[in-house]
């Protein structure tokens, strides 16, 4: 705009400031509580569960991994990561196949779809209790890698499939047909055309699956059996641990979550960079 135009046109309307305030309040409400926990986890040995902050050290992080009385943090962390990886793999594979299948109408497709999405609507805690009961009926011992795995899949599969639907809807069938026309077998078509084109979507599904599983609580509470996953362990700790090591645990798990997301995004960026590099080489 030229200097001669009236300033009034440049000025923002009052609604801009109202909405800005609203947004700032929202961000504070969203991240403030987490920030409190991260900050308080860095207190020294005198630290308590509330402000003010007492000292600055990594004492409670050391405590977390050395003291048995705080709970089985290392073991549950281990189990949660393994469980999340299993959930991720199953979610990606099943979502991919379902996405491929649902491109066409087939007999009973509506029923299959609603059965799949239905478990998303059911309250997680109730679903968990149900799974626990069912295992009892069949005289099976619930454990984190059987009943909890199934309980978590009831959450991640519908999510993954819905994401896959969106991804697959932008996939042009002519790519597959062209591959076939050019002599590719159906396996070659899948490996060389379909999966590479859908890869960003598959990574998104994997991320979803992993993070949903890693901090799943409601469905896991009644299904993990005698050995806890990390969120369940944290919950039991809130009942009997009264030291800032609880907070340091929150900090550590957050770091792990971000590290995994960063790793995924980083690997995608790396792939793109390599492609660009190859282009520049010639």
Partner 1 sequence: MATTKAGNIELAGVCKRYGDLLAVDGVNLKIPDGAYCCFLGPSGCGKTTILRMIAGHEDPTEGEILIGGDNVVGLPPPQRRTAMMFQSYALFPHLTVSDNIAFPLRVRKASKEARIRLVGAMMEKVRISELADRLPGQLSGGQQQRVALARAAITEPRVLLLDEPLSALDEQLRIQMRQELRRMQRDLGITFIHVTHTQLEAIALADLVVVMESGRIKQAGPAREIYAAPKDRYVAEFVGGQNVLKCRVERVNGSSATLASQAAKGIEIPLAGTRHLAVGDEVDIAVRRDDLHLRRPDGNAAAAGVAGISARVRAVEYQGYFVKVMLDALGEEDFIAYVSEREFFGDPFTVGDVVVATWAAERSLLLA
Give the footprint of partner 1 on this chain (CB under 8 A): 172, 174-175, 177-185, 188, 192-193, 196-197, 199, 275, 278-279, 281-282
Q: Among residues 259, 237, 205, 251, which one has the least CA distance to residue 34? A: 251
The residues, ordered by sequence, that sit 6+ positions from 50 with a Cβ below 8 Å of its Cβ are 40
Residue among 41 and 189 whose Cβ is closer to partner 1: 189
In whole angstroms, the minimum distance from the beta carbon of 82 to partner 1 comes to 32
In whole angstroms, the minimum distance from the beta carbon of 252 to partner 1 comes to 37
| Distance separating alpha carbons of residues 155 and 160, to the nearest angstrom | 9
Report residue 225: phi and psi, to 5°.
Answer: 75, -145
In whole angstroms, the minimum distance from the beta carbon of 198 to partner 1 comes to 10
Residue among 133 and 192 whose Cβ is closer to partner 1: 192
| Distance separating alpha carbons of residues 42 and 39, to the nearest angstrom | 6
In whole angstroms, the minimum distance from the beta carbon of 173 to partner 1 comes to 9
| Distance separating alpha carbons of residues 207 and 180, to the nearest angstrom | 31
- Other beta carbons less than 10 A from residue 108's beta carbon: 8
Residue among 12 and 170 whose Cβ is closer to partner 1: 170
Q: Among residues 10, 205, 173, which one has the least CA distance to residue 90? A: 205
In whole angstroms, the minimum distance from the beta carbon of 267 to partner 1 comes to 16
If DSSP codes are grouped into helix, strand and coil, which group holds residue 185?
A: coil
Residue among 82 and 191 whose Cβ is closer to partner 1: 191
Residue among 16 and 106 whose Cβ is closer to partner 1: 106
Residue among 10 and 172 whose Cβ is closer to partner 1: 172
In whole angstroms, the minimum distance from the beta carbon of 80 to partner 1 comes to 34
Q: Among residues 218, 202, 99, 90, which one has the least CA distance to residue 157? A: 90
């Amino acid at each position: 705009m030229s200097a001669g135009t009236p300033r009034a046109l440049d000025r923002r309307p009052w609604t801009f400031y109202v909405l800005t305030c609203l947004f700032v309040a929202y961000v504070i409400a969203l991240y403030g509580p987490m920030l409190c926990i991260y900050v308080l986890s860095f207190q020294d040995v005198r630290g308590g569960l509330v402000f003010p902050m007492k000292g600055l050290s990594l004492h409670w992080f050391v405590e977390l991994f050395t003291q048995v009385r705080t709970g089985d943090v290392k073991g549950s962390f281990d189990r949660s990561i393994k469980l999340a990886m299993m959930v991720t793999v199953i979610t990606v594979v099943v979502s991919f196949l379902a996405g491929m299948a649902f491109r066409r109408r087939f007999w009973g497709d509506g029923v299959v779809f609603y059965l799949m999405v239905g478990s998303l609507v059911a309250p997680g805690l109730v679903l968990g209790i149900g799974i626990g009961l069912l295992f009892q009926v069949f005289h099976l011992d619930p454990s984190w890698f059987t009943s909890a795995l199934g309980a978590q899949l009831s959450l991640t599969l519908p999510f993954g499939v819905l994401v896959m639907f969106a991804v697959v809807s932008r996939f042009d069938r002519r790519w597959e047909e062209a591959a076939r026309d050019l002599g590719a077998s159906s396996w070659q078509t899948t490996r060389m055309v379909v999966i590479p084109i859908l890869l960003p979507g598959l990574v998104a599904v994997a991320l979803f699956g992993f993070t949903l599983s890693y901090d799943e609580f409601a469905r896991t509470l009644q299904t993990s059996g005698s050995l806890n996953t990390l969120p369940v362990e944290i919950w039991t700790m809130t009942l009997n641990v009264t030291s800032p090591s609880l907070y340091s645990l929150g900090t550590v798990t957050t770091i792990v979550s971000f590290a995994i997301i960063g790793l995924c995004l980083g690997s995608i960026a790396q792939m793109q960079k390599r492609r660009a590099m190859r282009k520049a080489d010639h």
